[in-house]
Every structure is written in structure tokens, then in C-alpha cells.
Chain A
């Protein structure tokens, strides 16, 4: 029975797909990155075209960014072309790259929360929350202990930055 269960697990293993991390082919990802860079170029170019361009002999504020946007689009196209040509070679391997490890996602989500909460809750509370989350999910510290450590850390930050270095952080509603 146990053997059957093991066999079943082994048979189903290849079908099992983990949610994280995602695997993206280096070439496919490279093309996507090049497209994103080209998009940045297009947006900047469009906005720059709305500014005063001046003329070739006497450029205005829009001239330089417009020229750079065009170069960015051209370079991005060159990167995409390079990637596409290399994928056409039969000998070339498309090594997969891993993205979105759970630890990376947790850290990034905690970081994203900081600027959102920094002004409304106050700098130290926002950072304290981030510290507690990182200690619980990355360092595997029990929640209560994480809160204590985070409070101690914030007290130390307040003393070091606020008192010794004179850095004034937002105080939120307090």
C-alpha cells in the first residue's frame, strides 16, 4: 500500500506545478524586458514631444529627452532583435530564470507597504510593521517575539536617527 502511494506520488510529481518561483525562459524574458524598455522610451518620447523642442541649432527643453527616447527605443529593438536571432539558432539553449521566490515576494510586499503607511501611520510604526513581518515570515520568529524585537529596533532607530542624527520622521496621527 505504502509502495503504491510512493509510486503514485512519483508518477504525479512531473505534473505538479509550483506556484512560486515562476520560471521564465531567458530569451522570452529578455524580449519582454526589451519591450518594457521600449515602452518607457515611447512614453517619455510622447511626453517630451509636448514640450518646447526648439530647433536643431538651439534646442528647447523637450529636444534632449525626445532624442534620448528615440535612441532608447532603437536600442531596445536591437536587444530584442539580438535575442530573437539567437533563439533562431538550433544550438542555443533557453535557460530558464527563476522569479518570485516566496522570500523575495514577502520582502518586496513588506517594502511596498512602507511608503503607503509611512505618512499616515508615522515612519517608525510603518518600519516597525515591516520589521515584524520580515522577522515572522523570513526569520521564522514567533509573532509575539517579533513584535518585541521590532519595538526594540524602532526604539534604537528613534534614538540613533532622531536623537543623535536629528532625522525627523513623520509622526502620523500621534
Chain B
């Protein structure tokens, strides 16, 4: 069966009534969690994870992925209208988006943001469709030693591209790997750090840790703030941008698509970093850089396109290599595993319907989001009128039930609460949680492949430096150097700090 036939088959799944319904639910819920501060795509996906248990794996993953890219759309709405980023990747949009809204131009900002998101999302799905299959074929041919090198590189890159302190990020990576060793040893079955608890023999629940470290800690931090939310209400008839807006946005959308596409493959906080890089690029290339920060539409179009362009390419390492690059795809990996589907190079041959169904649904989901977000923007903004303590209460109830439902274990609630407290403290001191979660997901396979490779080579560490490893190493390092050079050329680190301060 050719790739085209597979895609047609994927569309048949995605366009079935179930495919469309769950894609719509995912996109709608994703937009809602993107709009609401304190609930990002990760928490949104975890909350609806139990809903997928009774579904076909392809339909379940279509819904969860819909939440992921839906949240990227939703995050921009609050950035523009309230100056509160609903999602980390929308922080940069606050700068010029909110300024535009203050000047009575919220409509064009929302419209350009939605259209840019649609274009960026579609470009990245094209990339996923064309890059993942050949990459998976290459991966099938390589052994555990190359997989170890690849995973180590991914963790190294997370530490290097991080916006915060590198040593702190590296520490979070090590802590994540260490927490990943809790449970039965994969090769010998020996219990490690379980302290006799059968609940811990399967390891720490990823969903419980993710909700605690990301969702709960975010809620606790937000509870410290007492500001009231004042949203600017746009009118539907004001959504149409002027000719000048479209002319200024078009190149920014094109560049944002490319930047998001490249950064999507980089592990770590690529969706956040890509927006800052895109903003810095637009500012640097603009004929009127002084307008940035005062309502420049390119400052909205570029970053919003970039953060959506990341969504498709972030799926490439997950689906082709089985290596998640951002926390949201790490949760997708967990969800697929719960459904008995192993992401990685064999996914395309063993379960092609999952891959192609997902690709097709992402095209459809982007259209659904475009149709959903613009006319209903007023309704989504009204969600922000719900007083925060009421919202927090509802989120906590749903989160706890969601966490419990994964393993039916009260230990998971303990893990969520404690990791929420720990995450709150660590985030206050400038530690990032994303590297910890990614390392936690990769740790198990990293160790298993490391020991397997050594066993196969009779204990020789030279196995990690064979030809294939060196090719992988060289390619990834070249990509990393390219990204670093780009970031340096456009003053990313400086602009990251300046822009984050202003946002």
C-alpha cells in the first residue's frame, strides 16, 4: 500500500462520525484549556485521558492530539484580549496582541493569529507526513546503542536550549531519570525504591506527576495573584483585517511556519522557544522595529504561526522514533502505551491506521479550529469571567478524578499533591519542569537499551561509537549548531529575557 493509499485510509477514519466527533471534542476542549490560565494542553489531555479508555486507539489519540493543538489556538485569545497567556507558548503574543486590542484592533489580531495558526499547523502536518515514514525506516535498521546515543542527545539538547539556568535544567533531567528508575527493573524484575509498595512496582504514574508538576504548581502560583481579569470584547464584524495587516503579516506567517517547523524537532521547550525566536526574527527584519511592543501585527502573526507549526513536527520524534520532544507528546506516548500501541519506528508498519488517521485528523482539526475560534471568541472569553477560586475548585476535582482513574490508585493522588507542592517551590526558584518529565519518560528505555547494548557487545563501550551512532551524533549536533547560530544571530537569549519581562 502506497503512502497516498494510507493517507486516504487515514481520511476515512478521520472523516467517520466518530473521528469527526472526537476530533471536535478534542479541539473544543483544547481551546477551552488554552483559554483558561492554569490549564495547559498537558492538564487538558490528562483530564480527558479516561474518556479514551473505551475508544479505539486511533480515535482516542485523535482526540488527545486535538486538545494539544487546540490549546495552542486558545492560548492566543487570552493573550490578545486579556494580556494573560492561557498557555506558555502564547506569552510573546501578549506584547503586541494586547496592544492591538487596546487600540481597538483586537479583531484583526485574532483573525491573523487564527489564520497564521491554521497555516503553521497545516505546514507542520505536511512535514510530519513526509518526514516521519522515511525516518522510521532508518530507525528500524539501527540497534539499541544508537537509540541510547539518540536519547542522550535529546536530553543534552533539552539542557542546552533551555531558556533558564542550564545547570538547573540538567539537574531536572537527572532527577527525572532517577525518578524513572522507581519500580521493577525492566531486565531483571528486581524492585527498586518501591519500599515494599505494590503500587510503586509499576513506577511513578506519568499522568500523576505531570498534573502535579505542571497543573497543580501553576494553580498554586496563580493563587498568589489577586488581579481581576478585564477582557476586551471584540465584535465579529471587526475581525476582518485591513489590506496593510495582511501585507505585513504574510511574510511573518511564512517565516513563523519555517521557524516552528525547525524548532518542533528540538526536544525541550520548543513550542515556547520558537515563539520568542520568531518574535526576535520579525523585530530584526522589520523596517519599523520601533513599532514592536506598540501593536505590530507581525509580532502576533509570526509567534502564533510558529507555536502551531511546532505541533505537527513535535509529533515526528514521537511517532517515528518513540522519543517525545515536549511534555504534551510525552503524555501522548503514555496514552498510546495504555492503549497497547507502541510509538516508534514499527508504528508505521504495525499500526499504520494510527499514524495516518492522526495525520488526516490534524488537517481536519485545523479547519475545525479555524471555524470554531473566530465566531465563538466571545464565548471563550466569557469563560474568564468565572471567578478563579471557583475555576480552581472545579479543575482540582476533575484533575484528581482523572489522575485516580488511570490506575485506580490513591497513591497517584499522593504523587500529584506532593509533586504539585514540590513543583511550586522548584518553579519559584527557577527550575523548569518540562525537562524532568521528558527525562522521566525516556529514562526507562534509556537504561534498558544501555544495558542491552552492553550485553550484546560483551561489555564493550565502543558499541556506542559505531558508524551509525556517529552519523546520528553528527547530524543532531549539526542541527543543534544551526539552531544555536540562528538564535545567536537574532539575539534570542537577550530578546527572550527582555520580551518575557515585558509580557
Contact = CB atoms under 8 A, between A and B. Distances in A.
Interface string B444-463: 00010011001100111000
A98 B454 contact: no
A84 to B, nearest CB: 13
B113 to A, nearest CB: 32
Contact of A139 (B53, B167, B185, B387): B387
A112 B417 contact: yes
A103 B192 CA distance: 37
B413 A118 contact: yes
Nearest to A44: B178
Nearest to B390: A139
Contacts of A75: 167, 170-171, 174
Contact of B223 (A51, A104, A114, A118): A104
Interface string B404-427: 110010100110010011001110
Contacts of B171: 37, 72, 75-76, 79
A107 interface: yes
B448 to A, nearest CB: 10
Given A68-B177, A103-B223, A111-B420, A26 B429 contact: yes
A65 B192 contact: yes
A127 B404 CA distance: 12
A61 B185 contact: yes
B454 A59 contact: yes
A161 B50 contact: yes
Contacts of A167: 50, 401, 404-405
Interface stretch (B338-346, B371-379, B392-400): B392-400
A26 B417 CA distance: 24
Which among B216, B390, B397, B459 has the greatest number of chain A C-beta atoms within 10 A? B397
A159 interface: no
Contacts of A125: none
* Chain B interface helix/strand/loop/mixed: helix
Which among B398, B420, B447, B460 has the greatest number of chain A C-beta atoms within 10 A? B447
B401 A169 contact: yes
Which among B219, B417, B454 has the greatest number of chain A C-beta atoms within 10 A? B417
A61 B187 contact: yes
Contacts of B425: 33, 99
Contacts of B193: 44, 47, 65
Interface in B213-249: 216, 219-220, 223-224
A93 interface: no
A72 B400 contact: no
Contacts of A40: 175, 178
B167 A68 contact: no
Interface residues of B, number: 60
Nearest to A102: B223
Contacts of A99: 425, 428
Contacts of A112: 417
B410 A138 contact: no
Contacts of B413: 114-115, 118
B1 interface: no
Given A33-B426, A75-B171, A108-B220, A65 B181 contact: yes
A165 interface: yes
A78 interface: yes
B389 interface: yes
* Chain A interface helix/strand/loop/mixed: helix
B141 interface: no
Interface in A34-82: 37, 40-41, 44, 47-48, 51-52, 55-62, 64-65, 68-69, 71-72, 75-76, 78-79, 82
Contacts of A127: 397, 400-401
Contacts of A82: 165, 167
Contact of B178 (A33, A51, A72, A161): A72
Which among B53, B396, B429 has the greatest number of chain A C-beta atoms within 10 A? B429
A51 B191 CA distance: 9
Contacts of B455: 58
A30 B429 contact: yes
B50 to A, nearest CB: 5
Contacts of B190: 51-52, 61
Contact of A104 (B390, B398, B424): B424
A75 B192 CA distance: 23
Which among B181, B414, B455 has the greatest number of chain A C-beta atoms within 10 A? B181
B137 interface: no
Nearest to A139: B389
A127 B402 CA distance: 13
Interface in B154-207: 165, 167-168, 170-171, 174-175, 177-178, 181, 185, 187-188, 190, 192-193
B51 interface: yes
Nearest to A107: B223
B401 A56 contact: no
Given A79-B171, A118-B410, A161-B405, A139 B393 contact: yes
A147 interface: no
9 contacts: A44-B193, A57-B460, A68-B178, A115-B410, A138-B393, A157-B401, A165-B53, A166-B54, A170-B410
| For the complex of A and B, 9 pairs with smallest distance between CB atoms | A57-B459, A138-B389, A139-B389, A61-B185, A115-B413, A75-B171, A167-B405, A61-B190, A103-B223
Interface of B: 50-51, 53-54, 165, 167-168, 170-171, 174-175, 177-178, 181, 185, 187-188, 190, 192-193, 216, 219-220, 223-224, 387, 389-390, 392-394, 396-398, 400-401, 404-405, 408, 410, 413-414, 417, 420-421, 424-426, 428-431, 447, 450-451, 454-455, 458-460
